[in-house]
Amino acid sequence: MSTPGGGSMNRPSDLTRWTAAEMAAAVAIGEVSAAELTEAHLQRIARTDVQVRAFLHVARDSALAAASEVDARRAAGEPLGPLAGVPLALKDVFTTIDMPTTCGSRILAGWQPPYDATITRRLRAAGVVILGKTNMDEFAMGSSTENSAFGPSHNPWDLGRVPGGSSGGSAAAVAAYQAPLGIGTDTGGSIRQPAAVCGLVGAKPTYGGSSRYGLVAFASSLDTPGPLTRTVLDAALLHEVISGHDPCDSTSLDAPVPPVVAAARNADVAGLRVGVVSELSGDGYASGVLRRFNEAVELLESLGAKVTEVSCPHFGYALPAYYLIAPSECSSNLARFDAMRYGLRVGDDGTASAEQVMSETRAVGFGAEVKRRIMLGTYALSSGYYDAYYGKAQQVRTLIAGDFAAAFEQVDVLVSPTTPTTAFPLGERVDDPMAMYLADLCTIPCNLAGNAALSVPCGLAPEDGLPVGLQVMAPVLADERVYRVGAAVEGALDQRRGHALLEEANGVDEADDASGEAGR
């Protein structure tokens, strides 16, 4: 287990294997430079990304420049933030003024945004080194990265399997030691699901806790940026760096950031009331997932938590409600891609009308899943169907929030498996949209209600040797509770095992030479 704060006792010789907390501590005392750390990760990307394909764009020069700036600030005696000099993989859905932003879509291929997202700005201000932009399902719609226009990323545990999605590129990068920190976005599980299937920690902050300004919108009432890391403490450190009120986002909460770092360092669950959600298990769940989940619950009990079963009767309707609400919002948000002001324009031959150019561009520029969801949303919002579909889904959203409110009167946190299965093989679900949607079965309720949630690894499924995630859910703005439980589970399992779970992943070999060009 890594030592909080970065003790050097058990630290491996390979820099890329350190935790982010260890890296930051080493930079702060001048033991390694940010430039050395950055170079080590850029080399790791060059040697492994031919197989993993986590990055769409590697920003070598700007990363090294950002690292040198941190080193110069340290040399000048300036105070550094808790993650200064630590490299990060940024999902390609956040605008970056010095790097392309594609959202995994042909319609934005090569687009260079004119401004930085708030998340991007906060990372830069904290001295975090952005290595590049990571692959994702197009406009964050998907659970496998297979909807990326630029080809899928691969799971470092087994390169024939998906890394989850939509933030699968960031997850694959962190699991392949290409970066200790990743940023994703979670609209229906897009941080927690890839974290679970890649053996990582992933957190969805309370909605409004992290800014959406400069995050290319998918479903605005659900989209939430958050961290993907190898340890709970690293996730908490990154959570605090990116969080806090942003006047540029009108749905940003003007409230203090929950004390998640302190919670990650205080992994005490004695007396904590933990509720197991009855509706999130049973048929359709892999036996190995349920086995590891049940063991994690027993572990929490052995650590002093008071475990009870809690019913959330409407959770079974969360998935259908989500697949009306998210497509409805997406059909409206993606209307901005009209071929007029930026992005792709096709068929402008001097005679075609603006409307024809628009329709042709969108047909060529969007992939199948995005088109499917735009039409589904258009259907759900159209007159005659609005009340029966979108309206009913919004009522279900009220029922789900009510289930959470009732549950949190009885318990402090709720737990469930993060995903019904482990990572599935590439290609298995691409032709079956409903099967793909089921990957987010357990994660969606928190998006609809806006709660904080986190996925932490709880072992490998015996049948396939792939990681299983435990999902911890807490009320709005009680994010610190999910970190406390996550840190307790992580600490106890690491101690029992004698090492971190990710050390058992061996899907990625370093190429003999660094000639393979990273990114595409």
Partner 1 sequence: MSITRDEVAHLAKLSRLDLGEDELERYASQLDVIISAVARVQEVAAAGIPPTTHAVEFNNVFRADVLAECLGADVALAQAPAAEEGCFKVPRILAEE
Q: Among residues 83 and 393, whose Cβ is nearest to partner 1?
A: 393
In the bound complex, what is the minimum distance in angstroms from residue 103's beta carbon to partner 1?
14
CA distances from 72 to 28, 30, 39, 68 (A): 12, 11, 16, 6
Over the window 230 to 249, marking each residue x when it contacts partner 1 by CB under 8 A and - when it does not, the resulting string is -----------------x--
For residue 455, list its beta bridge partners. 202, 471
- Is residue 253 involved in binding partner 1 (CB under 8 A)? yes
Contact predicate 349/427, CB 8 Å? no
- Which amino acid is present at 29? I
Over the window 296 to 335, marking each residue x when it contacts partner 1 by CB under 8 A and - when it does not, the resulting string is ------------------x--x--xx-xx------x---x
* Helix locations, 57-167, DSSP H: 60-75, 118-125
- Is residue 9 involved in binding partner 1 (CB under 8 A)? no
- Is residue 460 involved in binding partner 1 (CB under 8 A)? no
- Is residue 215 involved in binding partner 1 (CB under 8 A)? no
- Within its chain, how far is the Cα of 424 from the centroid? 18
CA distance linking residue 152 with residue 180, whole number of Å:
21
Over the window 143 to 182, marking each residue x when it contacts partner 1 by CB under 8 A and - when it does not, the resulting string is ----------------------------------------
* Helix locations, 384-478, DSSP H: 392-410, 433-437, 444-449
Of the candidates 473, 502, 459, 499, the one whose C-alpha atom is nearest the C-alpha of residue 291 is: 459
- Is residue 401 involved in binding partner 1 (CB under 8 A)? yes
Please pick, from the candidates 8, 10, 308, 398, the single residue that binds partner 1 as defined by CB under 8 A.
398
Question: Cβ atoms within 10 A of the Cβ of 47, count?
Answer: 21
The interface region with partner 1, picked from 140-148, 205-213, 422-430, 484-492 by CB under 8 A, is 205-213
- Is residue 410 involved in binding partner 1 (CB under 8 A)? no
Structure tokens of 108?
């934005």
Contacts (Cβ under 8 Å, ≥6 apart) of 267:
484, 487, 488, 490, 491
Please pick, from the candidates 391, 425, 462, 465, the single residue that binds partner 1 as defined by CB under 8 A.
391
As annotated, the active-site residues are 91, 166, 190
- Is residue 207 involved in binding partner 1 (CB under 8 A)? yes
Of the candidates 370, 313, 353, 493, the one whose C-alpha atom is nearest the C-alpha of residue 107 is: 370
DSSP assignment of 161-207 equals B---SSTHHHHHHHHTTS-SEEEEEESSSTTHHHHHHHT-EEEEPPT
Of the candidates 130, 149, 122, 128, the one whose C-alpha atom is nearest the C-alpha of residue 138 is: 149
Q: Among residues 92 and 158, whose Cβ is nearest to partner 1?
A: 92
Please pick, from the candidates 14, 78, 309, 348, the single residue that binds partner 1 as defined by CB under 8 A.
348
In the bound complex, what is the minimum distance in angstroms from residue 272's beta carbon to partner 1?
24
- Is residue 352 involved in binding partner 1 (CB under 8 A)? yes
Please pick, from the candidates 257, 339, 453, 518, the single residue that binds partner 1 as defined by CB under 8 A.
339
Over the window 96 to 125, marking each residue x when it contacts partner 1 by CB under 8 A and - when it does not, the resulting string is ---------------xx-xx----------
Exposure on the CB side of residue 303, measured as CA atoms within 13 A: 22
- Is residue 250 involved in binding partner 1 (CB under 8 A)? yes
Q: Among residues 348 and 509, whose Cβ is nearest to partner 1?
A: 348
Strands of 206-310 (E only): list them.
224-229, 273-277, 306-310
In the bound complex, what is the minimum distance in angstroms from residue 360's beta carbon to partner 1?
5
In the bound complex, what is the minimum distance in angstroms from residue 176's beta carbon to partner 1?
32
Chain contacts with partner 1 (rule: CB under 8 A): 111-112, 114-115, 206-208, 221-222, 247, 250-251, 253, 314, 317, 320-321, 323-324, 331, 335, 338-345, 348, 351-360, 362-363, 366, 371-372, 374-376, 378-379, 382, 388-389, 391-399, 401, 433-434, 447-450, 476
